[in-house]
C-alpha cells in the first residue's frame, strides 16, 4: 500500500443541491486510481461537520485514497460550510437530495460506480436514495435507526409504570402547557398503547407482522428495493446500541426473511460489548475505520476496477 493521502491530494469543492450549495472535500487516490468512488455521510446534528467526530471521515477518506479510491465527504445543507438552514434532523425526512447531488457531482468527475458509507442519519438518507441512485453498488450503514421516531423508539426502553411515575413529576406536568411537548407526550402514549395491544395480538395470533413501531415500513421497503436492485448492504452496529436491539427485534419478523433471501448481498456486523452510535470513544472510531476500509476494499476487489479510471 502506498502512503496515506494528505491535504495535498485533496481539494475543497462546492456543488449545487436543489436551491442549496453544498461544501465538500474531494480526495484523490495516492496510487493508480481504480475508478471507484466513495461518498461519506455523517450523522444528523446541527453541530456535525463532514470531517466528523475526531476526524473519523478524514481518516477513512485518506485510507481509502491509498487503496485507489476517490472519496467525497460533504456537509449537508444547513450544516458546516454548506448553505441553507436546518432546524432539526428527522429520520422520516432524510436528505436523499443531498446525496443525489453529491453522486451527480462524482459522476461528473467520471466516477460512475459508487459506494456510500453513512452513519446514523447519513445512513438513513443513503438508504432512502439507494434503490434509485445511479451507479450505486454498495452501501454501508453504521448504527442506523430503523424506526422513524427517536422519541417513540426510546419509549420501548421503559415500562408503562416508568411513564406513569414520570408523568406525575411537576416538570412533566408543566410540559403539558407547551404544545410541542404535548405532541411528544401524545406520541409516546399512543406508541405505548399500540405496543401493548400489538404484543397481545401477537400472542393471540402467533403471527409476526411488520410492526411499524419496530421498523419503519419505508426503511423495510428501501432495504428490499436496494437489495432487489443488487446493491450490497452492510449494517454495522455495536452490541450496546439501542438501535441494534431494535434491529434484532425486527429480524424476528419480515426483516429477518428479507435478510435471509438476500444473504448473498446483505451483511450484518455487530461489535461485541460496544456502543458504535455517535463514535463516542477513540477505540470505537479506530475499529469503525478498519471495518469500513476493509469492507469497501473487499467490495472493490469483488467487483474489480473500472478499465478507464478517472484522474
Interacting residues toward another protein by CB under 8 A: 6-8, 10-14, 21, 23, 25, 45-51, 53-55, 58, 78-81, 83, 85-89, 278-285
Q: Cβ of residue 152: shortest distance to another protein, in angstroms?
A: 15
Phi-psi region of 257 (alpha: psi -120 to 50; beta: other; left: phi over 0): alpha
Nearer to another protein, 53 or 192 (CB): 53
Beta strands 70-74 and 113-119 are: unpaired
Residue-by-residue DSSP string for 71-121:
EEEEPPTTSTTSSS--S---TTS--HHHHHHHHHHHHHTT--EEEEEEETH
Which residue, 201 or 280, has its beta carbon nearer to another protein? 280
Q: Toward another protein, which CB reaches closer, 50 or 222?
A: 50
**CB 122, min distance to another protein, A:** 15
> Cβ(297)–Cβ(136) under 8 Å?
no
In the complex, the smallest distance separating the C-beta of residue 181 from another protein, rounded to whole angstroms, is: 13
Helix 217-228 vs helix 254-261: angle between axes, to the nearest 10 degrees?
Answer: 10
E-strand stretches of 222-302: 232-238, 266-271
- Cβ distance to another protein smaller for residue 90 or 229: 90
Burial of 223 (0-12, 13-18, 19+ CB in 10 A): buried
Cβ 276 to another protein, closest distance in Å?
A: 11
C-alpha cell at 159: 415500562
- Closest distance between another protein and the C-beta of residue 191, in Å? 19
CB of residue 244 vs another protein: minimum separation in angstroms? 14
For the chain, the first-to-last Cα distance in angstroms comes to 19
Identity of the residue, 119 or 138, whose beta carbon is nearer to another protein in the bound complex: 119
Nearer CB in complex with another protein: 45/112: 45
Phi, psi of 102 (to 5 degrees): -65, -40
Amino acid at each position: 500500500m502506498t502512503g496515506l493521502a494528505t491535504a495535498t491530494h485533496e481539494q475543497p469543492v462546492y456543488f449545487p443541491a436543489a436551491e442549496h450549495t453544498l461544501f465538500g472535500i474531494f480526495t484523490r487516490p495516492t496510487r493508480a486510481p481504480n475508478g471507484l468512488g466513495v461518498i461519506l455521510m455523517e450523522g444528523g446534528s446541527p453541530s456535525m461537520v463532514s470531517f466528523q467526530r475526531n476526524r473519523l471521515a478524514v481518516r477513512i477518506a485518506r485510507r481509502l485514497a491509498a487503496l485507489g479510491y476517490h472519496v467525497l465527504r460533504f456537509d449537508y445543507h444547513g450544516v458546516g460550510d454548506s448553505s441553507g438552514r436546518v432546524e432539526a434532523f428527522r429520520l422520516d425526512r432524510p436528505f436523499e437530495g443531498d446525496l443525489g447531488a453529491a453522486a451527480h457531482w462524482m459522476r461528473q468527475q467520471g466516477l460512475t460506480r459508487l459506494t456510500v458509507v453513512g452513519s446514523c442519519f447519513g445512513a438513513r438518507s443513503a438508504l432512502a436514495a439507494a434503490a434509485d441512485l445511479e451507479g450505486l453498488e454498495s452501501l454501508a450503514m453504521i448504527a442506523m435507526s430503523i424506526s422513524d421516531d427517536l422519541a417513540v423508539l426510546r419509549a420501548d426502553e421503559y415500562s408503562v409504570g416508568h411513564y406513569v411515575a414520570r408523568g406525575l413529576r411537576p416538570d412533566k406536568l408543566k410540559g403539558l402547557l407547551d404544545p410541542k411537548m404535548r405532541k411528544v407526550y401524545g406520541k409516546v402514549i399512543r406508541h405505548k398503547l399500540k405496543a401493548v395491544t400489538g404484543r397481545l395480538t401477537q400472542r393471540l395470533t402467533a403471527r409476526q407482522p411488520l410492526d411499524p413501531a419496530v421498523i419503519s415500513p419505508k426503511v423495510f421497503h428501501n432495504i428490499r428495493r436496494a437489495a432487489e436492485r443488487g446493491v450490497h448492504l452492510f449494517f454495522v452496529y455495536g452490541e450496546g446500541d439501542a438501535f441494534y436491539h431494535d434491529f434484532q427485534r425486527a429480524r424476528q419478523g419480515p426483516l429477518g426473511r428479507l435478510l435471509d433471501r438476500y444473504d448473498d448481498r446483505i451483511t450484518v456486523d455487530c461489535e461485541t460489548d460496544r456502543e458504535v452510535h455517535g463514535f463516542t470513544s477513540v477505540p470505537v472510531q479506530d475499529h469503525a475505520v478498519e471495518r469500513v476500509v476493509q469492507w469497501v476494499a473487499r467490495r472493490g476487489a469483488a467487483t474489480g476496477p473500472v478499465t478507464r479510471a478517472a484522474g
